[in-house]
Amino acid sequence: MSKAERVLVVDYGGQYTHLISRRCRELGVYAEIIPEESALVRQDLSGVKGIIFSGGPRSIDESDLDQDFESDMKHIREYGIHVLGICFGHQLLAVWKGAKLSAGGNPEYGETKLQVLDDESILQDLNDGQSVWMSHSDEVVEIPDGLEPLALSGDSRIAAFKDEENKVFGVQFHPEVAHTPNGRSVLERFLRNQCGYVGHWTPEDEVSHILNAIQREVGMGRVLMGTSGGVDSTVAACLIKKAIGDRLYCVFVDNGLLRAGERREVERAFEEMDFKHFVVIDASRRFISRLKGIEDPEEKRETIADTFIEVFEEKAKQLESEFGAFEFLGQGTIYPDRVESAATGKGTSVIKSHHNVRLPTWMTLKPVEPLKNLYKDEVREVGAILEIPDYLVSRQPFPGPSLAIRIGGSVTEEQVDILRKADSILQHELQDHAIYASIWQSFCVLLPVRSVGVMGDERTYEQAAVIRIVESSDAMTASVARPEWDLLLGIASRIVNEVDGINRVVYDITSKPPGTIEWY
Ligand code: XMP
């Protein structure tokens, strides 16, 4: 397949638009998301055999079907391109051909059974009353001659149609989400059987595509980057280094709140990966003194973020005076970070701001975000292709504010030290155990709550540690892991025996929601 072969995904602000492009990539077809405002009529569509119109949160209005839309559709037809509309896209294409739309009234949400009328086209593998995932309130109610209904849902509602003349398909349901069990086959049949994509796009192609993009973006410029040793910033740094070589300058800030041995491990890894400019700053004292007396978790976060920026800025200025100005700031932002901060386009709602996306105000550097379109598992795949050591690629996520948000109450050097020791025991015990590969995060939390205990003949009155082990695929939801009882008992016993300051250990059995993964 030539690199020019690609599918375009027109984004109408749908929650799942990005998943559509991901599914196409998984099917071996390179996908590009373009905003709905992009005038297709002015685009060079060579290499495009299919276009997918995404879902979206709003209702169709007159401006959606104006002269510009007509011109776009004419342009698409001239190129002989096939079109698939999903949800809002389905409604748009049907109404364009004269179908009637019923606004609001009769929503379908969640799992819905499908009755397939024509099982020879893209719905071939959904032919026996299978479930699909719906999420709409407007619906196409009457379709004119020329449009053929392909499937019904519920009370004879039009769930899919075909417009043979214009090479157009519409599906009201979402084939891109995992809740539509055979949804992948709908996209596959559209891409392969209808559009004729051969489909040899591979993760290796993705890597060279990203490398080319970095080279185009950065030119002969220089990139400054904060690296934490986490998966995202490490993979992003490796890509940037591969693209522009030693014009990348990495800064690692030791905030004094890291896990046992972490700084040395990261330092050694970057040295082994041959990073010429990898600067480590020990700012432990500054962070700990700024955190003194702060108990509120959000205030801790803010203080740590501000201190980080301060330390990073000082180093940046020093590096600039030594090597000359930087034009770019490398960042390990991945796609879900952008969803959370609503940086993906209009129509998505703000869930929470994410530290990766917020640039410090003083920085006029242009962001370089090589992973911005990828999901965590894809980032790990890229990491493996780049031959980044497995212990870095498979690391558990670790929050920017580090151990500070795992300590209840005031953060002092002594408290960090106690937590670090307990956490290190937990990690070592788990790493030796099969469960480690299947969990999302495992850590200890230090509770400034004292309770009475007895050790030997002595009465103790010390703090408690919480063990938290969760399973998740994206941190948006999480379930509690169920390690063997004996494993937990062994860890608890080691913590109480080996860590001064802790005399009680509890296991957190709260899922997310209603809990969050971190305690503070
Ligand atoms: P919560 O606690 O919100 O955590 O369920 C979800 C995921 O985000 C991580 N996390 C953070 N990461 N800065 C970060 O960089 C933060 O302030 C922060 N708070 C939570 C958490 O470790 C989990 O993976």
Which residue of the set 176, 217, 340, 381 is catalytic?
176
What is the length of the chain?
Answer: 520
Share of the chain above pLDDT 70, in %: 95
Distance 514 CA to ligand 1 centre (A): 15
Residues with CB under 6 A from ligand 1: 301, 355, 397, 399-401, 441, 475, 512, 516-518
Provide the residue ranges of all domains of the chain, joining segments of one domain with +: 6-195, 203-393, 412-507
Tell me what pLDDT residue 347 has: 47
Confidence of residue 344 (pLDDT cuts 50, 70, 90): low
Tell me what pLDDT residue 321 has: 96
Residue nearest to atom 22 of ligand 1 (CA): 399
Nearest-atom number in ligand 1 for the CA of 398 is 22
Evaluate if residue 141 carries a pLDDT over 50: yes
List, for residues 265-303, the tens digit of each pLDDT value: 999 999 999 999 999 999 999 999 999 999 999 999 999
Would you call 176 a catalytic residue per the annotation?
yes
Nearest-atom number in ligand 1 for the CA of 478 is 5
Torsion-angle region of 167 (φ positive above 0: left; ψ -120 to 50: alpha; else: beta): left
Confidence of residue 1 (pLDDT cuts 50, 70, 90): very low
Exposed, middle or buried by CB within 10 Å (0-12, 13-18, 19+), for 509?
exposed
Pick the CATH number of 6-195 from 3.30.1490.20, 2.40.37.10, 1.20.1270.10, 3.40.50.880: 3.40.50.880
Tell me what pLDDT residue 314 has: 94
Residue nearest to atom 14 of ligand 1 (CA): 399
Rg over alpha carbons for the chain, rounded to the nearest Å, is 27
Distance 82 CA to ligand 1 centre (A): 42
Tell me what pLDDT residue 341 has: 57
Tell me what pLDDT residue 317 has: 93
Confidence of residue 352 (pLDDT cuts 50, 70, 90): very low
- Number of Cβ within 10 Å of residue 484's Cβ equals 11
Give the global pTM: 0.81
User: Which residue in 55, 90, 60 sits closest to 176, CA to CA?
Assistant: 55
Tell me what pLDDT residue 44 has: 87
Task: Report the mean per-residue pLDDT for the chain.
Answer: 92
Evaluate if residue 345 carries a pLDDT over 60: no
Evaluate if residue 229 carries a pLDDT over 50: yes
Distance 398 CA to ligand 1 centre (A): 8
Distance 518 CA to ligand 1 centre (A): 6
Nearest-atom number in ligand 1 for the CA of 356 is 15
Tell me what pLDDT residue 443 has: 98
Distance 264 CA to ligand 1 centre (A): 23
Would you call 272 a catalytic residue per the annotation?
no
Q: How many CA atoms lie within 13 A of 466 on its CB side?
A: 18
CATH topology agreement for domains 203-393 and 412-507: no
Give me the amino acid identity at 144: P
Tell me what pLDDT residue 209 has: 95
Distance of alpha carbon 67 from the chain centroid: 37
| Paired sense of beta strands 328-330 and 278-282, if any | unpaired
Residue nearest to atom 18 of ligand 1 (CA): 399
Out of 445, 517, 520, give the residue to mutate to test ligand 1, the one with the largest number of ligand atoms within 8 Å of its CB: 517
Residue nearest to atom 4 of ligand 1 (CA): 517
Query: DSSP E strands: which ranges in 246-376?
Result: 248-254, 278-282, 328-330, 366-368
Nearest-atom number in ligand 1 for the CA of 440 is 24
Distance 399 CA to ligand 1 centre (A): 5
Which of residues 433 and 345 earns the better pLDDT score? Answer: 433
Distance 298 CA to ligand 1 centre (A): 12
Q: Give dist(CA 499, CA 142) in Å, integer.
A: 71
Which residue of the set 24, 87, 238, 444 is catalytic?
87
Confidence of residue 104 (pLDDT cuts 50, 70, 90): confident
Which residue of the set 174, 206, 277, 369 is catalytic?
174
Would you call 295 a catalytic residue per the annotation?
no
Out of 439, 518, 519, 520, give the residue to mutate to test ligand 1, the one with the largest number of ligand atoms within 8 Å of its CB: 518
List, for residues 358-405, the tens digit of each pLDDT value: 556 566 899 999 999 998 889 999 999 999 999 899 999 999 999 999
Average pLDDT over residues 99-104: 93
Share of the chain above pLDDT 90, in %: 84
List, for residues 114-126, the tens digit of each pLDDT value: 999 987 889 999 9
Average pLDDT over residues 501-514: 96
Average pLDDT over residues 235-258: 98
Tell me what pLDDT residue 2 has: 46
Evaluate if residue 62 carries a pLDDT over 60: yes
Confidence of residue 513 (pLDDT cuts 50, 70, 90): confident
Fold of 203-393: Rossmann fold (3.40.50)
List, for residues 7-57, the tens digit of each pLDDT value: 999 999 998 999 999 999 999 999 999 999 999 999 889 999 999 999 999
CATH tag, 412-507:
3.30.300.10
Tell me what pLDDT residue 363 has: 64
